[in-house]
Structure 1
Amino acid sequence: MRGEVTVRTTPEERHFLEELLSLWRTAGSPSRNEWGDEASLSPRTIAAYLDGKTLPTVRKFDQLIEGLARLCLRNEENLGTWVRHEGDAMREEHLHVARIARKAARQKAHLFAQALPGGQPDRG
């Protein structure tokens, strides 16, 4: 029997997701295809972020925000500017904290898995 531990979503990751979804809704909930085109990201990548399946890197997050801002600027200049401002704040306040929490959760899970019978599964 091999030990296997699942890393659960951290509260910080959930908070980041809530903020991202709020920003998306305020921007008019553009389709993943539209947003992906503007952000130079695939609709599948956009979906993974909006569904909370993964956290973006800082570079991908900046692409995400810039794409959303460009979509907003088509209709309302103030909204596009606001999206950029909120994105800057989210990067500093929420994304950074969520990424640190995720890393700590993975490390804790790895240590726990090593203590289980059979240790951590090979990741060949």
Structure 2
Amino acid sequence: MKSPGGSIFPYYYKGGEIHCLKYGSKYNNEEKLFELMKQEEEFIFNTNKKLKIWVDLYETSVTNRVLQELSNNMNNLRAHIDKLSFVGLSGINIWRLRRRMKKLEITQRISFYKDPEDAKTWLVNER
């Protein structure tokens, strides 16, 4: 089965199971990104599972509006998130997103990486 973003679901990696939210390669097309976020929410709600989620943001322009929608998206999904990892954010956008998520009291384990392999490995690692 594939998710709305085209990710294989479930995706098995190094003995674990993760879900990728492919929010990357949207460049400046915010409306396309926001529509995909809504579709992924519906898909995840229907899985009825806690997931280890990897969010790919490479090649997507991360504006304040995108950060707001992204934090809202994660807030909506919070009951379905076990661990959460982001790749493709600049240092300043990591700081901005952390602040937004802290205000929303999103308490799941969250990490930020430049390398997708590191992000996926962290997700399946039980520590």
Q: TM-score, normalised by structure 2?
A: 0.27
User: Of the two structures, which has the highest relative contact order with CA contacts closer than 8 Å and spacing of 6 or more?
Assistant: 1
Greater fraction strand: 2
Q: TM-score, normalised by structure 1?
A: 0.28
Q: Which of these two proteins has the greater Rg computed from alpha carbons?
A: 1
